[in-house]
Amino acid sequence: MKQVCISEFMDPDAVAKLDQCVQLRYEPTWVDQRDVLLKSLASADALIVRNRTQVNAELLDAAPALKVVGRLGVGLDNIDVKACEARGIRVIPATGANARSVAEYVVTSALMLMRGAYLSHAEMVAGKWPRARLSEGHEAFGRTLGLIGFGDIGRLTARLAAALGMQVVAHDPMLPADHPAWAENNVKPLALDALLATADAVSLHVPLVPATRHLINAERIRGMKRGAVLINTARGGVVDEAALATALKEGTLAGAALDVFENEPLSAGGVLADAPNLVLTPHIGGVSHEANVRVSMMIADAVRDALGVQA
């Protein structure tokens, strides 16, 4: 019987489905017990992870029988894909399964930050009444959302934003200007600098690779429309956090929402600690209840099929 190991949380129904047809070891605490994980993979045919388990050469050396790595999500920066390919190991992400969750997070964040009316709790309970200041927020209708990266998640985000009456522009150097996705979603392609100068809200949808590390740095933040807001559900390293904190303190940006960080989990203190108009969440943009069910079932089925196991 094929052996499947799971090192991070997976939806219980998907776990139960796998347990019926493979020898299953479901240990979601393994992600924080590296030595135990490595010792447990000697005969594993498949490993299922989220974004914290580092599937690198060390792990692959400890798993000589490994044939499949299932990723409960879409980002692959915690997986050495080239090393897996060199060993004939198939890497399977849950492409598309959490797109709705991320898109809703982005649009919700954009609405909240542009309106600027939902970050007044501390003032209100302190007896203040910041009505005049908070009456200057903006509606979404007629505003411009700029998407950096225009894959499946970006396209769904564009459709949700358009339903609110927003104009949508996007930058994606991997997508030709004549690609049908632009017209199908009524989105205008722009160069990066033009997008930053135009958009009232900017959302990031790119992987973390050398070309995108600190893509949003001090210089590019200075090139953004004054009073714009920034949303990052992609990868933390895409944004220079120190530059972002400075822009928020100086008022160059009206607000930001970060769901991902250069170092996760986020440690206490740090450059973001006293930045105003900043919403921080613990990498949950794509992890709603519904998305987790879809992602888990997709990967359970894909891993089972890749191993040639009958349900």
User: Which sequence positions are flagged as catalytic?
Assistant: 235, 264, 283
How far is the CA of 17 from the CAs of 13, 20, 160, 297, 301, in angstroms? Answer: 6, 6, 33, 8, 9
Q: Checking DSSP bridges between strand 3-6 and strand 23-26, what pairing results, if any?
A: parallel
Q: Name 14's Cβ contacts closer than 8 Å, sequence gap at least 6.
A: 293, 296, 297, 299, 300
